[in-house]
Amino acid sequence: MFPPSIDARSAHAAAVARLLASYRAVPPAASVRLAKPTSNLFRSRTKPNARSLETSGLTGVLAVDPETRTADVGGMCTYEDLVAATLPHGLAPLVVPQLKTITLGGAVTGLGIESTSFRNGLPHESVLEMDILTGAGEVVTASAHEHDDLYRAFPNSYGTLGYAVSLRIELEPVEPFVALRHLRFHALTELVAAMDRIVATGGLDGERVDYLDGVVFSADESYLCAGTRTAASGPVSDYTGQQIYYRSIQHDDGIKSDRLTIHDYLWRWDTDWFWCSEAFGAQRPRIRRLWPRRYRRSSFYGKLMRYERRFHIGDRIERLGGRPPREQVVQDVEVPIERCAEFLDWFLDTVPIKPIWLCPLRSQGDSWPLYPIRPQQTYVNVGFWSTVPVGSIDGETNRLIERTVSELHGHKSLYSDSYYSPEDFDELYGGAIYRTVKKRYDPDSRLLDLYAKAVQRR
C-alpha cells in the first residue's frame, strides 16, 4: 500500500505537530531529549532534568510499497515493527541491525550494521529522504538533492543536528529461509583471508552468499557464518528456546550447516543479546527453563543492565569478594580488513574479553563526513561487550583501544564511552563540516554539541 493512507498521513501529521509544540515549549536554556522507552546507548543519555519531547505517534510503519521496494516509516519505529510489516511482502530493509528495539532514526543518526553490510553498507545508505526536526525548531526534508548537507552529516550525529521524524528507505527481496554454513578456522589470518574472498566475489565454493558475519572464541577457534536466501522448505532450528545460537556455531572442523526462517535469522542475536545474557544467568539450563520466553530478548536485558549501572550492583559484588571494580568495555570499531587480523591478535593479547563479533562492511560510494570510512573499501566491524578490571586511570582499557584503532586507520562508534581529546575527535569525526552544518540547522545551539554528548557526558 503506497502512498500512505489518509488516516496514516493525518495521524503522522498530528504526531509531528505534537512534537513541534513540545519542542517549542522547552525554555531556550533547557536540555531536551526524546521520550524513548528503550535505549541502545551505553553512555549517559542526558541530564536527569532534561525536558522530554512528545514522540507518541512517530513509532509506526506508514506504508510499504512492494513495487518500488520502499517503506515510509516513523523516526521512532523499531526494526522489529518494520520487519513485521515488510516480511509479508517478501521484503526487508537493506540492513537490519541485530537488536529488535533499535529504531530507524537511531540507526541512521547513530549508525548500525549487520550481516548484509558487506553488500549494502550501513543503514543510512538506504535512506532516500527523511524529515528532520532541526535545532532551529523546523522540520525539513533532507535527501541527496535537498538539504544535502544535513542529509550527509546526519549519520553519526546522535541527535545533535536534529531528530528524524520520518524516513523513506529502500527494501530488498528476501526468501522465507536462510541456509547457513558455519566455517571453522584455526588461524585468524585464514579467517580474514576467507572473509575478504567472500566479500570480493559474493560467493563461497560457487554458491551465492547473501549474509556474512563471524565470531572469534580464541586465536585458534573462529568462525565465519555465511547465509544464503532460499525458498526450499525443510526443517529449521529454533534458538528462541533452550538452544543458544552462538553456541550452535561451534564445531570441531570444516563446515557445519543450519537453517533458519528469515524472521529467526534476522533476530538470531536478540534472544541472548549476542552472548551477554550469560551475565544474568539466562544461559544456565535450569534458569533458562524458568526464564519466561517473552523476557529472553535484548530490551529486557538492557533494562537489567541499566538497573545495575544505576545502583552499581556489580561493583558492590566485586568489593564483597575483595576484588577491584570493573571498567565497562562495550564497543564496536571498524578496522580496514587488511589490518583486522593484526587488531584481533592485539586485542586477544591485551583485553580479556571473548567472544568477539565480526561483521564486514563496504560503504557504497557516497560521502558521510561524520564517519569518513573510505567508499568501496572493505572494513570489519569488531564488536566486544563486557567488563575488565579497572586500571590506574579512568577508562584505561577504552583509551588504549581508541589509540590502537586510530593507529590502524579505523573508526569507533560513539554509542558508548569515549575518551578522545577535542583535537583528535575533531579530526576523526568531521569537525569542520559538522560545525558548518550545526551553525546552519541549530544556530542557537539548542541541541548538544557532538563532542559534549559523546565524550564529555560520561
Q: What is the DSSP string of 287-304?
A: HHHHS-GGG-SHHHHHHH
Q: Considering 253, 268, 283, which residue would you say is the last residue of a domain?
A: 268
Do 28 and 128 have their domain in common? yes
283 located within any domain:
no
Domain count, the chain: 2
Other residues' Cβ atoms within 10 Å of the Cβ of residue 442: 19
For 355-421, give the DSSP string. -EEEEEEE--S---TTS-PPTT-EEEEEEEEEEEE--SSTTHHHHHHHHHHHHTT-EE-SSB-----
The answer to whether residue 71 sits within a structural domain is: yes
The pLDDT value given to residue 55: 86
Residues 136 and 188 grouped into a single domain: no
Of the candidates 226, 246, 268, which is a domain's last residue? 268
47 with 139, same domain? yes
Cell of 411: 573508526
117 within a domain of the structure (yes/no): yes
Rg (CA), the chain: 22
Which pLDDT score, from 0 to 100, does residue 18 have?
A: 93
With respect to residue 96, please indicate whether it lies within any of the assigned structural domains. yes
Give a yes or no: residue 414 inside a domain.
Answer: no
Q: Are 105 and 35 found together in one domain?
A: yes
- Cα(359)–Cα(368) distance, integer angstroms: 20
CB atoms within 10 A of CB 182: 20
Q: Using DSSP bridges, classify how beta strands 32-34 and 51-53 pair: parallel, antiparallel or unpaired.
A: parallel
Same-domain check for residues 167 and 114: yes
Q: Are 241 and 95 within one domain?
A: no
Q: What is the pLDDT of residue 143?
A: 97
User: Both 106 and 201 in a single domain?
Assistant: no
Q: Which of 113, 146, 174 represents a domain boundary (last residue)? A: 174
Query: Is 211 inside a domain boundary?
Result: yes
Same-domain status, 140 and 205: no
Q: Is residue 438 part of a domain?
A: no
- CA dist 106 and 116 (Å) reads 18
- Look up the CATH number of the domain holding residue 98: 3.30.465.10
Residues 91 and 46 in one domain: yes
Range of the domain at 142: 6-174
Q: Is residue 92 part of a domain?
A: yes
Contact by Cβ (8 Å): 63, 71? yes
Could you tell me if 195 and 74 lie in one domain?
A: no
Same domain, 145 and 30: yes
Asked if residue 154 and residue 22 are part of one domain, the reply reads: yes
- Spell out the per-residue pLDDT of the chain, length 458, in tens: 445 556 777 889 999 999 999 999 988 877 777 766 666 566 555 555 567 788 888 999 999 999 999 999 999 999 999 999 999 999 999 999 999 999 999 999 999 999 999 999 999 999 999 999 999 999 999 999 999 999 999 999 999 999 999 999 999 999 999 999 999 999 999 999 999 999 999 999 999 999 999 999 999 999 999 999 999 989 999 999 999 999 999 999 999 999 999 999 999 999 999 999 999 999 999 999 999 999 999 999 989 988 887 877 777 777 777 788 899 999 999 999 999 999 999 999 999 999 999 999 999 877 899 998 898 899 999 999 999 999 999 999 999 999 999 999 999 999 999 999 999 999 999 999 999 999 999 999 999 999 999 998 64
